[in-house]
């Protein structure tokens, strides 16, 4: 079976890849088992050194890697280059912190010596999405390799070129052959990989439906999973917010990566007292986006990554407006080639509408009016998801209280857009998944936390 990549700006075919046959997949997995056996015996300083080499290669190749991302999934070129730099950052972070975080931790007990050791599990399968084709992979792979594991990558088919490029970067940085392997396979072949005895864990970033399917199979085989799934992130705009700053932050969050981010702000829960002014400011800022060729340095909004995504987003907007939502900006697919969708602002969004109930994966903002703080918190939590959330208020103590205690999400920000940072754990609750990436928590997700006790 062929895997075809297409340029979302034009719809034209980029490349055709041949899907790996089952025997070839098994061979790669067996090679990964052997590579990991040798890798787990290497010292932490050696692993850290290779991560630093990888960071250097990423920085050197940021222009070409960025162009590849832009061509395959439509990310504006400046954002693509910044994504590669962020990948280098996470490599440097784990090279700096990994040896200490993975060192044995002494514990005083009745033994002459007792401690906690962190040892690798084996092979970890990574099922990754297309929206951040380098970052999603490297942010997982850097700590997982640092911990002594091997990685096999099943990337989204539409970014197969990125998947191959990442494997080549690993080899060029000096990681052993077979330790990081890209598998060019489609969804039906994933079950075979999970069943392989050398695969000890699975991490998936993607839809809730995909997460449930993978977690079910892995659980039946008693294999650990980490899931980072969908999000319908709320931004609470309280009556004392700095509306100019809030609108700028919210517009930026909504349109990063052409609106295709799990932690992009999607539902704007606005206290009625300031709704009219906030709406005007948000419309103004989103209307200022320049939609077009993502290779053009002046473009700030590229196409959606695939045609089916464009059609689904249009459906969600059309069904929401038919149910009573008011379209203040955009709302119509442009003519011409490519999978573009314009900046769109919907107001008077209510329960039952797709713009309220579903994740909108594109540059569409849903404004939900509420009476006060209490209702804002209730509406923010009125979702199956729980990935990110933000609150805007000039009373930072109030904002921190709401973020820390009231919002049901894994990442809560005050007066700023939700973003990932290697120094902080990243992940969700409810149907947004479980487990954490980044920081010390991500490093220790795929290790055997072993107790050692000596009489």
Domains of the chain are 2-229+430-454 (3.40.605.10), 233-414 (3.40.309.10)
Say which residue the tokens 């509406």 belong to: 379
Nearest to 33 by CA among 247, 260, 198: 198
Q: Is the pTM of this model over 0.75?
A: yes
What is the spatial distance between Cα 433 and Cα 351, in angstroms, rounded to a whole number? 23
CA distance 301 to 292: 7
List 72, 83, 167, 228, catalytic entry:
228
Catalytic residue among 65, 250, 262, 412, which?
262
Mean pLDDT split into 10-residue runs, the chain, 455 residues: 95 97 98 98 98 98 98 98 98 98 98 98 98 98 98 98 98 98 97 98 97 98 97 97 98 97 96 98 98 97 98 98 98 95 98 97 98 98 98 98 98 98 98 98 98 98
pLDDT tens for each residue of 284-315:
999 999 999 999 999 999 999 999 999 999 99
Helix axes of 77-101 and 135-146: crossing angle, nearest 10 degrees: 10
What's the pLDDT at 269? 98
- Residue 1: the pLDDT is 80
Helix or strand (DSSP H, E) at 83: helix 77-101
Distance CA 170, CA 291 (A): 34
The answer to whether 250 is a known catalytic residue is no
How many angstroms separate the CA atoms of 123 and 136, rounded?
18
């Amino acid at each position: 079976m062929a895997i075809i990549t297409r340029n979302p700006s034009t719809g034209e075919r980029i490349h055709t890849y041949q899907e790996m046959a089952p025997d070839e997949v098994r061979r790669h997995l067996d090679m990964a088992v052997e590579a990991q056996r040798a890798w787990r015996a290497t010292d932490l300083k050696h692993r850290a050194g290779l991560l630093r080499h990888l960071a250097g290669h990423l920085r050197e190749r940021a222009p070409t890697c960025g162009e590849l991302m832009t061509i395959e999934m439509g990310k504006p070129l400046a954002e693509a280059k910044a994504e590669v730099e962020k990948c280098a950052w996470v490599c440097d972070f784990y090279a700096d912190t990994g040896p200490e975080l993975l060192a044995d931790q002494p514990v005083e007990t009745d033994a002459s010596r007792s401690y906690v050791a962190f040892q690798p599990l084996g092979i970890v399968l990574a099922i990754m999405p297309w929206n951040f084709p380098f970052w999603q992979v490297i942010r997982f792979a850097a700590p997982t390799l640092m911990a002594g594991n091997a990685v096999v990558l099943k990337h989204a088919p539409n970014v197969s070129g990125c998947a191959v490029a990442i494997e080549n970067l690993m080899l060029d940085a000096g990681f052993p052959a077979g330790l990081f392997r890209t598998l060019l396979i489609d969804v039906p072949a994933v079950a075979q990989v999970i069943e392989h005895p050398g695969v000890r864990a699975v991490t998936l970033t993607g839809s809730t439906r995909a997460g449930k399917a993978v977690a079910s199979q892995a659980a039946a085989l008693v294999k650990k999973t980490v899931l980072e799934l969908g999000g319908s992130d709320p931004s609470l705009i309280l009556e004392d917010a700095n509306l100019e700053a809030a609108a700028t932050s919210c517009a930026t969050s909504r349109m990063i990566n052409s609106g295709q981010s799990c932690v992009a702000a999607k539902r704007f829960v606005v206290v009625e007292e300031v709704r009219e002014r906030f709406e005007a400011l948000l419309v103004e800022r989103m209307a200022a986006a320049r939609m077009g060729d993502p290779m053009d340095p002046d473009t700030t909004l590229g196409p959606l990554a695939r045609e089916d995504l464009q059609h689904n987003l249009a459906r969600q907007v059309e069904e929401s407006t038919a149910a009573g939502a008011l379209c203040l900006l955009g709302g119509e697919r442009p003519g011409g080639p490519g999978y573009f969708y314009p900046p769109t602002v919907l107001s008077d969004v209510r329960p039952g509408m797709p713009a309220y109930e579903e994740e909108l994966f594109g540059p569409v903002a849903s404004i939900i009016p509420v009476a006060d703080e209490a209702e804002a918190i209730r509406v923010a939590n009125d979702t199956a998801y729980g990935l990110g959330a933000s609150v805007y208020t000039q009373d930072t103590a109030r904002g921190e209280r709401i973020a820390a205690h009231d919002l049901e999400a894994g990442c809560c920000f005050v007066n700023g857009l939700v973003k990932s940072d290697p120094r902080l754990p990243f992940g969700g609750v409810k149907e947004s998944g479980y487990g954490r990436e980044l920081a010390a928590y991500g490093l220790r997700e795929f290790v055997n936390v072993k107790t050692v006790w000596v009489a």
